[in-house]
Every structure is written in structure tokens, then in C-alpha cells.
Amino acid sequence: MADIDEIRSLVVGFLPRRDPEAPSSVLGAGNDDIEVGRTWLRRAAEHGLAVPKWPVEFGGRDGDGDEADLIGSVLSEFAVPDMYPFAVGISLVAPILFDSGSEDQRRRWLRPIADGSEIWCQMFSEPDAGSDLANVASRAELDGDQWVISGQKVWTSRGPYSRWGMCLSRTDTGQVKHRGLTMFALDMQAEGVEVRPLHQMNGDTHFSEVFVDEARVGRDDILGGEGQGWGVAMAVLTHERAGLGGSGGGLDPSGGYGWLDRLGTLGRTTDPVWRDRAMRIYVRQRVAAWTATRRQAEVEMGRPDGSGGSGGKLRLVEVYKERTALMRDALGPAGALVDDTMVEFLTGPSMSIRGGTDEIQRNIIGERILGLPPEPRVDKGVSYAELRRQGMV
Ligand SMILES: Cc1cc2nc3c(=O)[nH]c(=O)nc-3n(C[C@H](O)[C@H](O)[C@H](O)COP(=O)(O)OP(=O)(O)OC[C@H]3O[C@@H](n4cnc5c(N)ncnc54)[C@H](O)[C@@H]3O)c2cc1C
């Protein structure tokens, strides 16, 4: 295992030191600079710095948890670019490929994910399939050696600059709606794929509608196997919630507590009323971080990971929204003119929706953790085709 000086001397060559006063970029809010991230990832992949636990051949360094932690702590001293554009590939697609991808798929896709040359997006949501994701209506039919996909996706973050889309489509309408779904790797440059960017209220245009009209996908470009799409989607969402509810700093790349320093520079931390409000947020953030650490430990001990991310995501989203409102208030009316403060504040509401809404996280906690009775379901045991015939999807 490398020591701290060795890692530091490597990173010094690639990245400037982090300026604690510099505004952070959160989940790509207000930041569409892909090239700066790509340059960092290209260099990082040569030494396995961005994905230390991955095998060397795919851009990692075969590291263990201790080495990954060490690298993480060194990187927190530096201005690491916002990894938002690359997050689907690194944090959501790669675990699927490691778990259930073929050798050929790992060779084709992992290295370009690690070095940033190929960006992935997540094409799950549709106009009638959001919280009730199993309603997905996009169809895929086999034609010789290829699948032909048609349908409409919406809220596809990173769509405008992605090379690949993780596209959930229906391959069998005779099954109940959760079954008969398959996860495809769709080439976003293929004929029949049209991406139309959507404008968000924080000024970003990260997400988009994607219209897919008879786009062709290779027979083997399936993630997790034909008919296994629901299981893959659930695994992806679990990783996504865990990432959003991260290690307590998941929503703040500056290490998690940079906002307190900033509040201090505004002279607010000496005032008892402001201190009280700040401390409430700080305590909740700490608790969220410990919850995330405990969840991570449970995962490493091999305990099922099905719903553990939901509580972490809920807490971190709450903290994020309270913290950005605090900073807006601390700056007063002038805050409206401070770009990063307003962008962060206006990004807040989306946190309660993306990766599954707050209400859905509470349903998961209620049903899967607390064992409360599930919601009544009229679609149980009924095939998708029959539901459609009855106008229920
Ligand atoms: C910034 C952002 C980025 C996103 N990125 C992506 C992406 O990259 N890929 C992708 O596929 N999707 C993405 N989404 C979509 C997101 O996953 C969906 O918006 C979300 O799952 C909710 O679905 P919906 O918008 O269809 O709302 P609906 O499902 O129509 O929900 C509407 C309201 O009803 C509530 N509700 C619905 N069902 C229940 C229930 N059973 N119990 C209690 N309340 C309920 C919801 O909580 C919500 O308040 C993104 C969304 C946002 C905001």
C-alpha cells in the first residue's frame, strides 16, 4: 500500500490545492465543465487514484478500503473537479458490470468510464413511470441479432453529453409489470436517438427528454441479463441513494462542513441565534454521516443493502436544503446576487425528487425496514398487457 507522501506527490502534479474560500460545485449544479473533469480522470486512471479499488487494467490500483480512504483524505486537500458528469458510469454502471457483467462488457466499458472518455446516463423515468418505475412503456423487440428499442424517456440527467444510456425497456408484456423488463446499454449516438435538453430552475440544462425511435442495440449489450431489468434498476437505485446520502459529505465535495467556515467569514458564528441554527444543521449532518458510515460497515460485513440508503438520503437532503437556506439568509438580499449560493439554494428542491422522492424513501423505510403493511396494490399478479388493456398503465 502506498503511503500518504507518495499519494500526495502524485496528486500535486495533477491538481491545484483546494481553496477553502472557493465556492463548491454540488452535483454539477451550475457546472457543465466536462473537459476539466475528463483531464483529471485521464491522469487519475494512470495511477488508479479516482477508482482505487478497481483492478489496474480498468484504471484502478487493486487497492483495499484503507488505501481508498487514504487517497480520499489526500484528495480532500485538493481542488478535485466536480465528478457529477461521470457519476453514473463510476458509481452506478461499474458496480453492475463487476457484479454481473460479462468479461467482454467489463473490457469494453470499464476503462473508458474510469478515464472519463465515455460518459453514461440513466434512462429510467418516463412520462408515466417515475415513482412507479415498473410502468416503463418503452419497448424492445428482438430482430435477428439486434434489439430494436422505441419509447420516450424523461429527466435523463447528463443526456446531452452521454455516450451510453442505461435504458430500462420492456421485453415481455405477458409478465407482471416488474418482470419482463431488461436493462440495455444504448449508444446515445445511434440512429433513432434524439436528446432534447430541458431547462432547470437553477439554470442548468443537465437533464433532457430522450426520444428513441427504433434504435438498434447489439444482442449482447444487456446489463444483468434479459428479463432481469427490474433487479438491475433496484441495484442501481440503491447505489444512487447510498451515493446521495453518502458519507456525510455526499452532497458537499468540499469535505462536508465548508459551509460552517463560510458562515464564520460572514461573522455569523459568534451570534447566538445564528449559532443555534447552524449547530442544529451541523448535528443532523454529523448524525447522517455516522448513519452512512454504519451502513457502509454493514455492507462490508455482507448484510443486505436493500433499503439502507433511503434514511441516509432523506437526512442528507434535509440537511442540504436547510444549509442552503441558511447561507441564503446569512447573505441577506445580497445573496440573490451571489451565484453559487442561489444556484445551490435553487438546486435544493430537486434533491427531494431525484433518486426517488422523499415520500418514496419513507415508503421504503416503512415497508422494508419497519415492516409496516404495504400500500394496497390493484396490479398484483396481473400481466402488463392485461393492465394496458384495462387502461391501468
Ligand atoms: C434533478 C433531477 C434529476 C433526475 N435525473 C434522472 C435521471 O438521470 N434518470 C432518470 O431516469 N430519472 C431522473 N429523474 C427523475 C426522478 O427519478 C423522478 O422525477 C422521480 O422518481 C419522481 O417521479 P415523477 O417525477 O414521475 O413523479 P411522480 O412519480 O408522478 O410523483 C409525483 C408526486 O407523488 C408522490 N408519490 C408518487 N407515488 C407515491 C406513493 N406511492 N406514495 C406516496 N407518494 C407518492 C411523489 O412523492 C411526488 O411528490 C430526475 C429528477 C430530477 C428532479
Residue 232 lies in a domain: no
Gap between the Cα atoms of 51 and 256, Å rounded: 20
Ligand 1 centroid–CA 209 distance in Å is 14
Q: Exposure of 80 by Cβ count < 10 A (0-12 exposed, 13-18 middle, 19+ buried)?
A: buried
Gap between the Cα atoms of 32 and 161, Å rounded: 10
Q: Which residues are annotated as catalytic?
A: 240
Residues 105 and 143 in one domain: no
Q: Please tell me the predicted confidence (pLDDT) of residue 35.
A: 92
CB-based pocket (< 6 A), ligand 1 = 121-125, 130-131, 155-157, 207, 350, 353-354, 356-357, 359-360, 363, 375
Residues 260 and 343 in one domain: yes
| C-alpha gyration radius of the chain | 22
CA-nearest residue for atom 48, ligand 1, is: 357
Residue 381 lies in a domain: no
Gap between the Cα atoms of 207 and 196, Å rounded: 9
Residue with grid cell 418514496, as numbered in its chain = 360
What parts of the chain have a pLDDT lower than 50? Answer: 247-255, 306
Gap between the Cα atoms of 277 and 323, Å rounded: 9
> Which residue, 341, 342, 339, 293, is CA-closest to 316?
293
CA-nearest residue for atom 43, ligand 1, is: 359
Residues 124 and 105 in one domain: no
Residue 393 lies in a domain: no
Residues 323 and 257 in one domain: yes
Cβ atoms of 122 and 91 within 8 Å: the answer is: no
Which DSSP string corresponds to 212-253? EEEEEEETT-EES-TT-HHHHHHHHHHHHHHHHT-SS-TT-T
Residue 216 lies in a domain: yes
Residues 27 and 77 in one domain: yes
CATH of residue 152's domain is 2.40.110.10
**Choice from 131, 199, 206, 208 to test ligand 1 binding pocket (greatest atom count within 8 A of CB):** 131
Residue 19 lies in a domain: yes
Residues in the chain: 393
Provide the residue range defining the domain that includes 43: 4-114
Q: Please tell me the predicted confidence (pLDDT) of residue 1.
A: 77
Residue 133 lies in a domain: yes
Gap between the Cα atoms of 376 and 393, Å rounded: 16
Q: Please tell me the predicted confidence (pLDDT) of residue 242.
A: 67
Which residue spans within the chain are E strands per DSSP? 120-123, 139-143, 146-153, 164-170, 181-187, 193-197, 208-218, 222-223
CA-nearest residue for atom 38, ligand 1, is: 131
Q: Please tell me the predicted confidence (pLDDT) of residue 132.
A: 94
Which DSSP string corresponds to 351-382? HTTTTS-HHHHHHHIIIIIS-PPPPP-SSTT-
Ligand 1 centroid–CA 272 distance in Å is 39
CATH of residue 14's domain is 1.10.540.10
Q: Please tell me the predicted confidence (pLDDT) of residue 215.
A: 98
Task: Name residues whose C-beta falls within 8 Å of residue 241's C-beta, 6 or more positions apart in sequence.
Answer: 309, 310, 312, 313, 355, 356, 361
Residues 304 and 254 in one domain: yes
Residue 100 lies in a domain: yes
Residue with grid cell 439486434, as numbered in its chain = 146
Cβ atoms of 25 and 82 within 8 Å: the answer is: yes
Q: Please tell me the predicted confidence (pLDDT) of residue 28.
A: 63
Domain final residue, candidates 114, 138, 163: 114
Cell of 119: 460518459
Q: Please tell me the predicted confidence (pLDDT) of residue 380.
A: 87
Closest ligand 1 atom to the C-alpha of 123? 11
CA-nearest residue for atom 23, ligand 1, is: 130
- How many domains does one find in the chain? 3
Q: Please tell me the predicted confidence (pLDDT) of residue 338.
A: 74
Domain final residue, candidates 88, 114, 140: 114
How far does Cα 13 stand from its chain's mean position? 29
Please write down the long-range contacts of 279-283, taking CB distance under 8 Å and 24 or more positions apart. 280/322, 281/319, 281/322, 281/323, 281/326, 282/257
Cβ atoms of 243 and 250 within 8 Å: the answer is: yes
